[in-house]
Copies of this chain bind each other. A is one copy, B any other.
Amino acid sequence: MPRRPPVSRRRKPHQDRAQATCDAILTAAARVLVKNGYEAASTNRIASEAGVSIGSLYQYFPSKEGLVMAVMERHRTRSLEGFEAELVRLASQPLPQAIRALVRQLLTTKLENPRLHQVLHELVPRMRQLGQVDPHEQRLFRLVRAFLAPRVAALRPRDLDMAVFILVHSVETLCIKAVSDRPDYLTNETFLDELCALMQGYLQPVGESVRPAPKRATGRGRSPASREISPRS
């Protein structure tokens, strides 16, 4: 039962103490969201988990939705930063290597807190309904677009925006679905191979074959079924 739209502007933290309270609330919110899901994550519960009173919570966040938005904001900003750094680093690499590194980066990021990624991802539509469109998605799109633009001549898709739409959404979703349905995939090197194959097969001009560098002399031959992903192999 959300009360009416939050009119009163909320306090901004000025002292360190206040900032700490804010952080504690955000962290607790993330924890409770992961543990109980959105429905069961009551603001009272979050406050008590954070070790502050419910009043304090509402001094810094206008509503439950506002709080969850802030959690998403913080979390996605961090993820994006990692991704962006990787993109920059790979700007001049050949496409197959770049793709592989990016997908690996994605999977590694998800592995840090899979459930949180999942929960927040599922919350996107609900938040969008109550707010404006998620600005991080916009940013992610622009980043990938900027990455692909210089190579467009060597790619099959003619409509770059559509290509970005397809690539970003499919890979992102596959990672999230893997979290919930097939957690083993997240650390399965074959899954990474397949994601790369998906992207390259899509981007590659028809008839051209960029055979991915003959893979792996990963010491003392492990069973291919259990090859594991490590960040930056």
Contacts and interface: CB of A to CB of B under 8 A. Distances in A.
Interface residues of A, number: 43
Contacts of A195: 166
B169 A125 contact: no
Contacts of A122: 122, 125-126
B197 A156 contact: yes
A206 B198 contact: no
Nearest to A203: B201
Interface in A32-69: 37, 39
A159 to B, nearest CB: 6
Contact of A174 (B126, B170, B197, B210): B170
Given A197-B156, A204-B201, A162 B190 contact: yes
Interface string A189-200: 011001101101
Interface string A176-189: 01001110010000
A135 interface: no
Nearest to A172: B173
A22 to B, nearest CB: 27
A198 B198 contact: yes
A130 to B, nearest CB: 9
Given A169-B173, A173-B169, A162 B185 contact: yes
B206 A202 contact: no
Nearest to A129: B37
A162 B193 CA distance: 11
A181 B169 CA distance: 11
A211 interface: yes
9 contacts: A39-B126, A128-B180, A170-B198, A198-B198, A198-B202, A201-B201, A201-B203, A206-B211, A206-B212
